[in-house]
């Protein structure tokens, strides 16, 4: 009989519920064995839905359970590093939602801890597992577009999150753009060298008063010589806008928005099509399954994870550089923040 991986989900909010459901119903080589959340009712809701034996308000109960092989950390960002350190000490493999932390030395301590403990760590940059983005990366890596010259990413949410969330999110570059920073690295196969960011609160003045921006453009120079741009908005009234393009010396590959259906209506008033899918849960449904499946396979087969802790650190450094650039109104070299 093929062995299953016993997983505990820590954090039973929106993303925790999604991972819990996927582990329980869509990944045959995994078993949802525990759900932990400081809100015990939330943990029990998920546990009862999928007949999970342990629901607890204290994640340490899951870490203490010898039958549990790994944890999926889906709790608030400010808890990630602490749980990673404790999970590593308990010998549990770790899947952790982005980001590991906003503090670079703390991230590095986490990477050292998992390496010392000999456990695996995978960071939840799910967009790498989207079939369309993965195909674009495959084509670029195979040289199908020649030498990459320009990477362009558009990433716009349908509506801003609650203001209370934004006040603790770390800012747009560490909360939202962090996914796009990872995609720049993934699609180009290169690291950022220099970043320049512009931004303003054009959607909601309260976001500006809270010290953040809701509209941003980031430009960067990559170490392979390519240039990259990211444009973000917290509010696209037509839906979740997710597009990428990599242009090179021998061609171009692009990925457009997904829509609920492919109909096109042409009439006297114009040509009409469906809006993009509403938000990330719909747009990236496949990728959330695929990333956890990859993590489970790596643990069971003792292989390196596809999104390592170093892959988790790099976009945080890019986010810190962009934040510094916006504040100081100048280009920032990545080496300025990498040494913090």
pLDDT of residue 339: 73
The number of angstroms, rounded, from the C-alpha of 318 to the middle of its chain's C-alpha atoms is 14
119 and 149 Cβ atoms separated by less than 8 Å: no
pLDDT of residue 169: 86
109-130: pLDDT as tens digits? 999 999 999 999 999 999 999 9
For residue 168, the surrounding DSSP H or E stretch is none
**DSSP assignment of 88-119:** HHTT-EEEEESPS-S-HHHHHHHHHHHHHHT-
Of 87, 116, 67, 66, the C-alpha closest to 10 is 87
Q: Does domain 128-283+315-338 fall into CATH 3.30.420.40?
A: no
The residues facing 216 across adjacent strands are 199, 232
pTM: 0.95
pLDDT of residue 292: 98
The number of angstroms, rounded, from the C-alpha of 107 to the middle of its chain's C-alpha atoms is 16
Q: For the purposes of burial, counting CB atoms within 10 Å of the CB of 235, is it exposed (0-12), middle (13-18) or buried (19 or more)?
A: middle
136-160: pLDDT as tens digits? 999 999 999 999 999 999 999 999 9
Domain ranges of the chain: 5-119, 128-283+315-338
pLDDT of residue 114: 98
Of 99, 98, 97, 81, the C-alpha closest to 89 is 81
Of 241, 242, 120, 138, the C-alpha closest to 186 is 138
30 and 5 Cβ atoms separated by less than 8 Å: yes
For residue 185, the surrounding DSSP H or E stretch is helix 177-188
Tell me which fold the domain 5-119 belongs to. Answer: Rossmann fold (3.40.50)
pLDDT of residue 1: 37
Of 139, 205, 197, the C-alpha closest to 172 is 197
Q: Which residues of the chain have pLDDT under 50?
A: 1
Instruction: Give the tokens for residue 2.
Output: 């093929």
What is the C-alpha to C-alpha distance for residues 248 and 144, in angstroms, rounded to an integer? 9
Could you tell me which residues come within 8 angstroms of residue 202 by beta carbon, excluding any fewer than 6 positions away? 214, 215, 233
pLDDT of residue 340: 67
């Amino acid at each position: 009989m093929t062995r299953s991986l016993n997983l505990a989900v820590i954090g039973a909010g929106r993303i925790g519920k999604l991972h819990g459901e996927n582990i329980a119903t869509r990944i045959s080589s995994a078993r949802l064995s525990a759900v932990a959340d400081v809100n015990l009712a939330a943990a029990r809701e998920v546990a009862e839905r999928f007949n999970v034996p342990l629901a607890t308000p204290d994640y340490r109960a899951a870490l203490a359970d010898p039958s549990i092989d790994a944890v999926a950390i889906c709790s608030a960002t400010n808890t990630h590093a602490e749980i990673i350190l404790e999970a590593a000490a308990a010998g549990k493999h770790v899947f952790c939602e982005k980001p590991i932390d906003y503090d670079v030395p703390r991230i590095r301590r986490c990477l050292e801890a998992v390496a010392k403990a000999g456990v695996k760590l995978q960071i939840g940059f799910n967009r790498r597992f989207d079939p369309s983005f993965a195909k674009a990366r495959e084509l670029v890596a195979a040289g199908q577009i020649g030498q990459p010259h320009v990477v362009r990413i558009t990433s716009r949410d349908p509506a801003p999150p609650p203001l209370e969330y934004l006040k603790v999110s770390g800012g747009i570059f560490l909360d939202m753009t962090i996914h796009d920073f990872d995609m720049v690295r993934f699609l180009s196969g290169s690291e950022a060298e220099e970043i320049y960011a512009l931004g303003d609160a054009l959607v909601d003045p309260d976001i500006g008063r809270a010290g953040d921006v809701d509209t941003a453009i980031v430009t960067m120079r990559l170490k392979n010589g390519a240039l990259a741009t990211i444009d973000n908005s917290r509010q696209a009234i037509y839906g979740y806008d997710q597009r990428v393009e990599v242009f090179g010396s021998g061609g171009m590959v692009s990925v457009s928005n997904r829509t609920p259906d492919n109909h096109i209506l042409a009439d006297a008033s114009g040509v009409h099509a469906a809006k993009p899918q509403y938000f990330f849960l719909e747009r990236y449904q496949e990728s959330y399954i695929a990333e956890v499946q990859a993590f489970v396979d790596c643990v069971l087969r003792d292989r390196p994870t596809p999104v390592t802790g170093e892959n988790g650190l790099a976009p945080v450094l890019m986010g810190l550089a962009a934040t510094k650039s916006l504040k100081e109104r100048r280009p920032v070299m990545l080496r300025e923040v990498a040494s913090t």
